[in-house]
Structure 1
Amino acid sequence: MKSIPKLIRRFFGVLMFSLFLMVFLNLALLIIFSYKQIGNGSAWTCADTVSFSLTAGSDHQYILSQDGMDALRQKNAWAILIDNQDMKVVWHSENLPSDIPLQYDLGWISLLTRGYLNDYPTATSEHTDGLIVLGFPKKSYWKLMWNTFDYQMIAHMPQTILIFLFLNLLLLLIIYLTVTFRLLRSVRPIVDGVERLPGDEEVYVKEKGLFSGIAQAINKTAEKLKHQEYELKKQEQARANWISGVSHDIRTPLSMVMGYAGQLETSPFLSPEDQKKAAVIRQQSMRMKNLINDLNLASKLEYNMQPLNLIPINLTGLIRQTIVDFLNMDLDGKYPIELLTDDSISVCMVTGDKSLLKRAVSNLIINAQVHNPKGCRIFICINLLKDSCSVSVEDDGEGISDEQLERLVKTPHYMMCGNSTSDQRHGLGLMIVRQIAEVHGGSLDLMHSTHGGFCAVIYLPLISVE
């Protein structure tokens, strides 16, 4: 639901920006329009220009200068001069319409000075001999003849404009918020449904309103995910049962193979060569048994079926004992193990299952031995960090390529592997180590060893020692 307030803020921000933009554009258009209308005052300016340009000659003939003629031509206007004494037209321009009278009275003068003359918009200007009247094309101007306004209205015009502007903005805000809240009320179930999809709870959105199509799609998706989850659980349970069954069923015949192979290995009736073959059978059977046990353990760890006996453990002592056990079994000395831990780290307390942690360290040692059949040196180091400790097991053997390391690090499941079945150099044993580290709240890192081989580092949380 955190997205709903964010959506409201986004809508409100868009509203404020839209209102600001609307006000700005309206003011800009008002200024442009007003400026253009102010230019219409040029009709009176043109009348003043003609009045100034019209002079009387020595023979009482009036002469219009070039400036006056240009002004009339530019506005497509005509002009007359009405005498002060008898109110007759004593001069007019050449383009005077035929329906314009040449004699006037006070009524005519009153009308043309503020409005029209025979539907021609007019503008007037004072002249030394009378009144200059300019007439413009009939549809060039629209003049208000009876335009009187209350003074108080004009005086309070700024406040009136602000009030109207505020009321308009308030109305827009009310409309916008009404539409937005209705939209959000329709969106809320959709958002809730989408947010609940990754969880375990059942998802159903009412299929009505503006987003009924989206609600229907969410319901179908939730139903499909639920069905897929059910099928996946069935498959995982079947796989776990299969692994457990195979591990149980193969244990008895495998024990018989190992027992008979051990007898043949020490039988005096066989040649040394046949005894070596029997030894190989026994060793490979033992390896097969360990692999089956690893597979069964990995399955139990994945499905939380492995009971954990969590107790405080001195990891340093556990590792020392594990090293001694492996050195005692390495009669040929092909895999010497060195503990590169500072003597000051005699105590490293963690909470864990002793058998599982020993299994993890043992798997890493066995991993180094199995993948270096010609022998190698194994180096184990314990380091204390801020809130955790690390146990690194590395060797100076053949190592691993960058591609193999990347594939091994990215393998998410112990049942997954590449297309090649002939080059499974590292796999199930390391996956079990990772699982053991994770059930103890730690992690596993795989990398190249500084000694030239392969390196695995287990990180486990420390516990305080009072």
Structure 2
Amino acid sequence: MSSAMKLIRRFIVILFLSICLLFIFNVVLFFYLSYHQAGNQGGWKAAETISQSLQKDDRGSYRLSEKGVATLDEYQAWAILIDDRTGKVVWHSSNLPQAVPLAYSAADIARAVRGYICDYPTTTSGHGKDLLILGHPKTAYWKLMHNTFDYQTIASLPRHLLVFTICNLAAIFLIYMVAATGIFRSVKPILCGIEALPGGGNVYVKEKGLLSQLAASINRVSETLNMQKRQIQKKETARANWIAGVSHDIRTPLSMVMGYAGQLEEDQALEEPVRRKASAIRHQSEKIRNLVSDLNLASKLEYNMQPLKMAPVNMAALTRQVSADFMNMDIEDKYPISWNGSEEMNACFVLGDKDLLRRAFSNIIQNSINHNDGGCGIYITLSEKDGQCAILMEDDGIGVSNAQIEELNSSPHYMVCDDQISRQRHGLGLLIVKQIAAAHHGSVTIGCSTYGGFSVLLEFPICQENHNS
């Protein structure tokens, strides 16, 4: 609806701008067309020129100079000179029409001066006490015989022009609004349909009016989007069901493999090479179990199927617990963990699911262990800045290249592919970390550590209630 009102406002602005420009254009055009129009002054000046060019010789005869003859030719006019005392024509040009009389009464002279002689428009000039009349072609001028206006009309002219202008603008605006209302009725459903398309759902616009073809296109687009949405949902549902089914079906046979492998590993009657093979089978089976568990958890987080048990969690205590668990399992002390944090950071609370946050921290530490077979130091730093609890987890292992870091931060699934099949990859574990952080309104940044290895920075909003207390 806001788009429709914006469109109407723009149309109204265009209307008023068009009226102003049209008015200016008409004024300029009027002055341009009337610039050379002298308001009949050309005919009057021609009569004065003929009067000045007409001279009387010693014998009493009139003679027209060459300039006067040229003026008559230019205006295609004829001329007569009427005697002041007798009213008779004492001189006329050689091209005088036969219908033009040669004697005039005072009434005839009054009519001739104001208007016409035998339908020939006239202009006049004095020649001494006599009257010179210049007759023009019948189509040269249109003379108004009774063009008089009373004083009140002239005095009221500005007010009349203002009323005329206002009435015209009101009429134009009314016509425009009537037309715009019809257009708006056709455009409104189209705009509403277009605005509703990104929200999904069924969008239908009645296919009628001036924009029926556009309405039909919107309906087809809506049908296509809905069909694609249903197909995507169907595929995603099938994928989620497949992952859940595989996770469930693989649990029992994998438990049997791990159980038998454990029994063979602990059987002292078997030779050492056989027991080592059984141990390798058990370790790899554990990786498969963890991978299936991670895959199932990632699927649940992606589709919001994992219920979150939100409560204030002390991040300092939780990171220490996770560190202690890994240190207790590290019998050979190949992966020592150092915890860095000030005394003020002994109680940094975040509103979250404790088990999921533990899983995220465990995945990051396990990622460092998986990619550094020769051992590495792991460093955990807890800090607070701008209302965010920051957990920086680093190692001094082999690290990754800048290109890999860029791909880890930008790839939706955090997969780094290479040509070496035997090389382990940063993949699903970091994806789960990212999903857990997103579920807690946090962020994850992957980079190179200050120790030359791999680093992961997690930031979560601090729970203000516990923080203030």
TM-score between both structures, scaled by the size of structure 2: 0.88
What's the CA shift for 1:338?
2.6
Query: In structure 1, the residue corresponding to 2:319 is in which secondary structure?
Result: helix
What's the CA shift for 1:240?
1.1
Is 1:21 aligned to 2:33, yes or no? no
Equivalent residue number for residue 239 of structure 1? 239
2: distance between equivalents of 1:339 and 1:136? Answer: 115
Equivalent residue number for residue 184 of structure 1? 184
Query: In structure 1, the residue corresponding to 2:198 is in which secondary structure?
Result: coil
**Pair 398,64 (structure 1): closer, same or farther in 2 beyond 3 Å:** farther
What's the CA shift for 1:202?
4.2
What's the CA shift for 1:224?
3.4
What's the CA shift for 1:272?
4.3
Matches within 5 A, 1:76-91: 76-91=76-91
Equivalent residue number for residue 137 of structure 1? 137
**Pair 26,278 (structure 1): closer, same or farther in 2 beyond 3 Å:** same
Query: In structure 2, the residue corresponding to 1:198 is in which secondary structure?
Result: helix
Consecutive unaligned residues of structure 1, counting only runs of 5 or more, are none
**CA distances 1:153-187 after superposition (whole Å, capped 9, x unpaired):** 33322222222221111111111111212222232
**Pair 353,112 (structure 1): closer, same or farther in 2 beyond 3 Å:** same
Q: Which amino acid aligns with 1:395?
A: D
Is 1:368 aligned to 2:368, yes or no? yes
Query: For structure 1, which segment, 119-128 or 194-203, has the greater mean C-alpha deviation from structure 2 after superposition?
Result: 194-203
Q: Which amino acid aligns with 1:241?
A: N
1: distance between equivalents of 2:450 and 2:142? Answer: 95
**CA distances 1:334-356 after superposition (whole Å, capped 9, x unpaired):** 33333232332111001111111
What's the CA shift for 1:238?
1.7
Query: In structure 1, the residue corresponding to 2:343 is in which secondary structure?
Result: coil
1: distance between equivalents of 2:172 and 2:292? Answer: 74
Matched residues, percent identical? 49
1: distance between equivalents of 2:125 and 2:141? Answer: 17
**Pair 68,407 (structure 1): closer, same or farther in 2 beyond 3 Å:** farther
Q: Which amino acid aligns with 2:391?
A: V
Query: For structure 1, which segment, 83-92 or 304-313, has the greater mean C-alpha deviation from structure 2 after superposition?
Result: 83-92
What's the CA shift for 1:314?
0.5
What's the CA shift for 1:435?
1.1
**CA distances 1:391-430 after superposition (whole Å, capped 9, x unpaired):** 122333333344433433333358x887989577322111
**Pair 315,48 (structure 1): closer, same or farther in 2 beyond 3 Å:** same
What's the CA shift for 1:294?
0.3
CA root-mean-square deviation: 2.9
**Pair 419,328 (structure 1): closer, same or farther in 2 beyond 3 Å:** closer
2: distance between equivalents of 1:282 and 1:253? Answer: 13
Query: In structure 2, the residue corresponding to 1:305 is in which secondary structure?
Result: coil
What's the CA shift for 1:290?
0.9
2: distance between equivalents of 1:195 and 1:73? Answer: 75
Equivalent residue number for residue 219 of structure 2? 219
Matches within 5 A, 1:304-383: 304-383=304-383
What's the CA shift for 1:33?
4.2
Query: In structure 1, the residue corresponding to 2:126 is in which secondary structure?
Result: strand
Is 1:114 aligned to 2:114, yes or no? yes
What's the CA shift for 1:266?
4.2
**Pair 130,309 (structure 1): closer, same or farther in 2 beyond 3 Å:** same
Q: Which amino acid aligns with 1:427?
A: G
Equivalent residue number for residue 149 of structure 1? 149
What's the CA shift for 1:262?
3.1
**CA distances 1:417-448 after superposition (whole Å, capped 9, x unpaired):** 87989577322111111111111222222334
**C-alpha contact (below 8 Å) 2:404/2:416 kept by paired residues:** no
Equivalent residue number for residue 460 of structure 2? 460
2: distance between equivalents of 1:146 and 1:6? Answer: 54
Query: In structure 2, the residue corresponding to 1:152 is in which secondary structure?
Result: helix
What's the CA shift for 1:316?
0.6
2: distance between equivalents of 1:401 and 1:91? Answer: 116
Query: In structure 2, the residue corresponding to 1:79 is in which secondary structure?
Result: strand
Query: In structure 1, the residue corresponding to 2:350 is in which secondary structure?
Result: strand
Equivalent residue number for residue 251 of structure 1? 251
Is 1:203 aligned to 2:169, yes or no? no
Query: For structure 1, which segment, 235-244 or 276-285, has the greater mean C-alpha deviation from structure 2 after superposition?
Result: 276-285
Q: Which amino acid aligns with 1:130?
A: D
Query: In structure 2, the residue corresponding to 1:142 is in which secondary structure?
Result: coil
What's the CA shift for 1:326?
1.7
1: distance between equivalents of 2:60 and 2:277? Answer: 148
Equivalent residue number for residue 400 of structure 1? 400
Query: In structure 1, the residue corresponding to 2:398 is in which secondary structure?
Result: coil
**CA distances 1:36-75 after superposition (whole Å, capped 9, x unpaired):** 4445322212222332343434444445556545544543
1: distance between equivalents of 2:75 and 2:417? Answer: 90
2: distance between equivalents of 1:203 and 1:235? Answer: 23
**CA distances 1:309-334 after superposition (whole Å, capped 9, x unpaired):** 22211101100111122222233333
1: distance between equivalents of 2:37 and 2:424? Answer: 88
Query: In structure 2, the residue corresponding to 1:345 is in which secondary structure?
Result: helix
Consecutive unaligned residues of structure 2, counting only runs of 5 or more, are none
**Pair 138,291 (structure 1): closer, same or farther in 2 beyond 3 Å:** same
Q: Which amino acid aligns with 2:153?
A: M
TM-score between both structures, scaled by the size of structure 1: 0.89
Q: Which amino acid aligns with 1:411?
A: S
Query: For structure 1, which segment, 27-36 or 41-50, has the greater mean C-alpha deviation from structure 2 after superposition?
Result: 27-36
**Pair 340,64 (structure 1): closer, same or farther in 2 beyond 3 Å:** farther
What's the CA shift for 1:98?
5.5
What's the CA shift for 1:380?
2.0
**C-alpha contact (below 8 Å) 2:416/2:426 kept by paired residues:** no
